[in-house]
Amino acid sequence: MSVDEFIRTSGSTLRGDYAAARADFTVDQDMSVYTDADHELWQRLYARQFELVRGYAFEEYLGHLGDLDMSRSIPDFSTVSNRLQGATGWKIVAVPGLIPDLVFFNLLASRRFPTTVWLRKPEEFDYIVEPDIFHDCFGHVPLLFSQHYANYLQAYGIGALKAARLGPEALVMIGRLFWFTVEFGLIRTPSGMRVFGAGILSSSGEIVHSIDSPDPQRLPFDLERIMRTDYHIDRFQDPYFVIESFERLVADTAHDFTPVYARLREMPTFAKAP
Ligand code: HBI
Ligand code: FE
């Protein structure tokens, strides 16, 4: 899909400046557009969330987050990307905001992580639906330094491209896998249940809720159950799925999903909570 067509078909829902986007939807990150107020907002977001993740996030994530040390100002993607390339061969590429599914999957399949350039407004301090630079950098980027996670995300991109060729139902099913792992996944560790999903890691409310609340279900990772589970994009999740390790996650998703899609499309979906 071309940039123009994406803008036209997305209507007024798109947030971000697509005028300078290249055909592959990437842009250059212009550090000069960030104001002192933006950096100050970033600092406050970072400081608040850093305190929270220390008690709730997966330890490997915390190690990489600490190494990155993005606490002082909005990060320069080129610096982060250079370090990342040395660690796992992934790169950070700047994008104006949401990009089409196939473009997104193509980038993941080639170990490039699309990172949004804009920062939320002060009044969105606690909550925002779409990914902004804080969600992408704080939530996603640290785990790209984890070897097994990095491999999982690339395999996901390759698998999602294949699902797109099979049709819309397969794409919905593999989209749920992204949602319940990369965005909202939990992991069992020797020190208890921890968060690795970026949607939770970058959320002040959900990080506490996902671990401490007695309300949501926390089900063991189950690929086929996930593929049949509908979700809300604008409220806390129920259920969450809990993986044992990134190695196990890679192993449990390494097979060809083609026959799985064919079987599951005949089965009922687990309805989302009202
Ligand atoms: N674009 N920038 C951006 N970030 C995303 O997380 C993203 C996207 N486009 C599509 C997309 N995610 C979905 O297809 C995935 O959530 C499966
Ligand atoms: Fe995300």
274 residues of the chain, pLDDT tens digit each: 899 999 988 877 889 999 999 999 999 999 999 999 999 999 999 999 999 999 999 999 999 999 999 999 999 999 999 999 999 999 999 999 999 999 999 999 999 999 999 999 999 999 998 999 999 999 999 999 999 999 999 999 999 999 999 999 999 999 999 999 999 999 999 999 999 999 999 999 999 999 999 999 999 999 999 999 999 998 999 999 999 999 999 999 999 999 999 999 999 999 877 7
**For ligand 1, what atom is nearest to the CA of residue 114?**
2
CA 122 – CA 136 distance, rounded (Å): 17
**Is the C-beta atom of 74 inside 6 A of ligand 1?**
no
Selection from 254, 60, 206, 203 nearest residue 145 by Cα:
60
Q: Model-level pTM?
A: 0.96
Neighbours of ion ligand 2 (CB under 5 A): 131, 198
At 273 the pLDDT is: 74
**Is the C-beta atom of 105 inside 6 A of ligand 1?**
no
DSSP helix/strand/coil, 220: strand
**Is the C-beta atom of 98 inside 6 A of ligand 1?**
yes
**Is the C-beta atom of 238 inside 6 A of ligand 1?**
no
DSSP helix/strand/coil, 178: helix
Extended strands (E) in 28-174: 91-95, 112-116
CA 159 – CA 173 distance, rounded (Å): 11
**Is the C-beta atom of 157 inside 6 A of ligand 1?**
no
Q: 239 preceded by cis ω (within 30°)?
A: yes
Question: Which residue's CA is minimally distant from atom 4 of ligand 1?
Answer: 98
Q: How far is CA 68 from CA 34, 45, 89, 166, in A?
A: 20, 16, 16, 39
At 13 the pLDDT is: 81
At 2 the pLDDT is: 92
At 254 the pLDDT is: 95
Q: Measure 49 CA to ligand 1 centroid, in angstroms.
A: 22
